[in-house]
């Protein structure tokens, strides 16, 4: 056998089994990492939790002269708190109805009565919203002061055992006014009811 044929045979040697195994393992790990990133990107949330505040069965009553209450049942998404949403009332033509701060007597832990929660004092079209417990106690109030909305008490968890009441000096029922829930924070909140 001459030197040239020996060199040709030496040049045809393949990769050693150990290096081949290492390469296969490395390729497998890289592919697994790529697949994990792709799948986790498809299944991960955007960081914004969608909440819903379903409002139904609004009933208007006149417990006192010049005062109108619109009482409705609510069915919120689990975990919804007053820190996550605000409220607004819009007329049929889309204009916002004026809100006010509730009278000082309409405070958390007080019984929800005509005396405690009279109409908004800033005018007959003014309104505010009360969240009432099943025992008839005020839990929180939504108010507008200087056009800025805020809940009057500390953050409350909202549940289907509670009632929401719009207190107003105007007849809102049957004139096409809507109450809309909207998000205050990063999470989205939806909900609308015809008053």
Q: Please, which pLDDT band fits residue 30 given cuts at 50, 70 and 90?
A: very high
Domain boundaries, the chain: 3-43, 50-194
pLDDT, mean of residues 33-49: 73
Question: pLDDT digit string (tens) for 83-131?
Answer: 999 999 887 777 888 888 888 888 899 999 988 888 876 667 788 999 9
Give the 3-state secondary structure of residue 36. helix
Give pLDDT, residue 6. Answer: 54
- The pLDDT of 49-69, averaged and rounded, is 89
Name the phi and psi angles at 37, rounded to 5: -65, -45
Look-up of token digits 């909202």: 158
Which sign, positive or negative, has the C-alpha torsion 62, 68, 73, 79?
A: negative
User: What whole-number distance in Å separates Cα of residue 129 and Cα of residue 65?
Assistant: 19
Pairwise CA distance, residues 29 & 55, whole Å = 52
What does the pLDDT read at residue 4?
55
Tokens linked to 51: 């909440």
Q: Indicate whether 1 pLDDT > 60.
A: no
Residue 65's pLDDT is 82
pLDDT reading at 133 higher than 70: yes
């Amino acid at each position: 056998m001459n030197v040239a044929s020996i060199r040709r045979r030496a040049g045809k040697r393949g990769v050693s089994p150990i290096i081949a195994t290492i390469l296969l393992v490395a390729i497998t790990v890289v592919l697994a990492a790529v697949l994990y990133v792709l799948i986790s990107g498809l299944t991960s949330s955007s960081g914004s939790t969608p909440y819903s505040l379903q409002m139904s069965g609004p009933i208007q009553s006149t417990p006192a002269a010049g005062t109108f209450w619109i009482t409705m049942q609510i069915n919120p998404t689990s975990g919804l708190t007053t820190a996550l949403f605000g409220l607004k009332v819009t007329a049929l033509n889309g204009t916002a109805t004026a809100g006010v701060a509730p009278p000082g007597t309409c405070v958390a832990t007080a019984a929800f009565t005509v005396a405690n929660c009279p109409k908004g004092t800033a005018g007959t079209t003014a309104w505010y919203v009360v969240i009432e417990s099943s025992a008839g106690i005020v839990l929180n109030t939504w108010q507008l002061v200087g056009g800025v909305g805020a809940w009057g008490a500390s953050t409350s968890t909202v549940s289907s055992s509670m009632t929401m009441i719009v207190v107003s000096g105007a007849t809102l029922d049957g004139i096409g006014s809507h109450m809309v829930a909207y998000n205050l924070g990063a999470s989205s909140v939806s909900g609308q009811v015809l008053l």
